[in-house]
Amino acid sequence: MHRLDISNLRLEYGFKRVLWDVFLRCETGKVLGLLGRNGCGKTCLMKAVYGELKLRDQYVGIDGKVLLTSERRPEDMRYLPQHDFIPSGLSVKRVFGDFGVDFERFVTDFPEFEQVYRKRIKAFSSGERRIIEAYLILTSETKFCLLDEPFSFLMPLHVQKMKEIIHREKATKGILITDHYFEDVMEVSDELFVLRGGKTWKVNERKDLELLQYIKESDGIQDR
């Protein structure tokens, strides 16, 4: 089992505290869900953990060993950003090879991609690209996956399949996920937190989302 510890993350823009004394722990076999309103700092948190954003104060460590470098090793951590990250000119064959992921297994999960092995990434829609990129991050050899908006642009059928893959892959890795489709995040998460006021607050039941002002009413309408 592996453990990812995140603590003391502090980020300020002027007088605004974006992250302040954040604490999270993600372990192999668990999905850690992170919710929060737009602009609350979820993406900043993900980037800081991955090393893309350097903070003045932070602790990020795996199995008790602090990660000091700006670059994370793929075998330790993979990151799915909000934006497309695979160069458009590369072929499906190339990117699956680069990530060491079995294309045939991918087709088993998404049969509609059976004939795309030699296509270039630029040929796909936003939703199709999201499926490919999220799948590569989730199924490659790594200890931890950071997923920022993995359900964006996906049809409901594909969202359900992606949740099944998340559940399957957590057997061998820890997964930190955030998405504005909070019902889906709640469904796949073993532990759930809300980022509010720069701090992380543990969610034990749905009512906590109202108390933390993440949703307005008990029917689950999100305040956007």
Residue 153 within a domain: yes
Mean of pLDDT over the chain:
92
CATH number assigned to the domain comprising residue 47:
3.40.50.300
Q: What is the number of structural domains in the chain?
A: 1
Backbone Cα Rg of the chain:
17
Q: What is the pTM of this model?
A: 0.93
Residue 224 within a domain: no
Per-residue tokens: 181: 């489709």
Provide the domain limits for residue 8.
Answer: 3-211
Residue 9 within a domain: yes
What pLDDT does 217 receive? 63
Give the mean pLDDT of 115-121.
96
